Amino acid sequence: MWKPASPCLDCGHLNDANFKVCQRCRLRQVCSVSKHPSKRLKIDFQAIDDRLVHLAEVKSNKSYERQKSSLHKELINFLSSLPVSKALPSASPSDIKKFLEWKDNSGKTIVHLLDSPGLGQRQRVSCSCPTRLAAGTVDSLIGKLRSIFLDEGLGGEWDDLLGIENPVSHLSIKAYLKCVREEQAQARVQPREAVPLFTNKCLAIARSILSKLRKPCTSPSLLYILSRVSVALIFSLETVRRT
């Protein structure tokens, strides 16, 4: 049966229909025609789009994503308010440091000066020492800013010569965070710690959970939640016992 010739993808030379190597340029044929014709599928594109929208909403509803979205808007407004207005892709490490310093003024951690009578105390003691963001909060902001630029396609290390890529990755940002930590260490700022959960409190919580688990009116969803919490408590108590 006669079949039309197939042109080479590189030089255009006509070869046999099912050729593997071009007779002129010796290029190996990579894309061969399938022997089985494709079958058109019935695809519910609306359902696919709805599913993708739902997944995007699940991601955006997370606390971290909401905080990052709010920070993103603040950064855009800050850059547009500079003497020379800038867009996000044109931001420099210097702009990021200015933004962090601007955010630092909204902190609630009192950083006492070295000659302040309240040095080493969390409360304000008849002094006018400034309030700053805690060093851990600044570190968290830097992480969110890095993620914001990564989402914009600027994930590489900052290039000083070209002035492109992620400005948050610049060494000056790390140096800024180090200075904040050293300043607060000199001011004897004590990081806030979580309230410890002692064994007697764990036992009291466990008894309360067990009493609710035994009630017949407890809903299945609450039973599931309480069961998970009780397993976590048992694991914690067992860990404490072994140590």
pLDDT of residue 1: 66
Buried b (16+ CB within 10 A) or exposed e, 49-65: eeeeeeeeeeeeeeeee
Which amino acid does the sequence have at 222? L
pLDDT category at 150 given cuts 50, 70, 90 is: very high
Could you tell me the two tokens for 79?
């850059």
Q: What is the pLDDT of residues 51-110, one digit of tens each?
A: 999 888 888 788 888 899 999 999 999 999 999 999 999 999 999 999 999 999 888 887
DSSP state of 15: E
pLDDT category at 148 given cuts 50, 70, 90 is: very high
How far apart CA 217 and CA 234 sit, in angstroms, is: 24
Calculate what percentage of the chain has a pLDDT beyond 90: 31
Sequence-distant (≥ 6) Cβ neighbours of residue 203 within 8 angstroms: 237
Q: What share of the chain is helix, strand, coil (3-state, %, to 5)?
A: 50, 5, 45
Which is more confidently placed, 208 or 32? 208
Distance between start and end Cα atoms, the chain: 83
51 Rama class: left (phi>0) / alpha (psi -120 to 50) / beta? alpha
Q: What is the pLDDT of residues 159-210, one digit of tens each?
A: 888 888 999 999 999 999 999 998 888 877 766 655 666 667 777 887 888 8
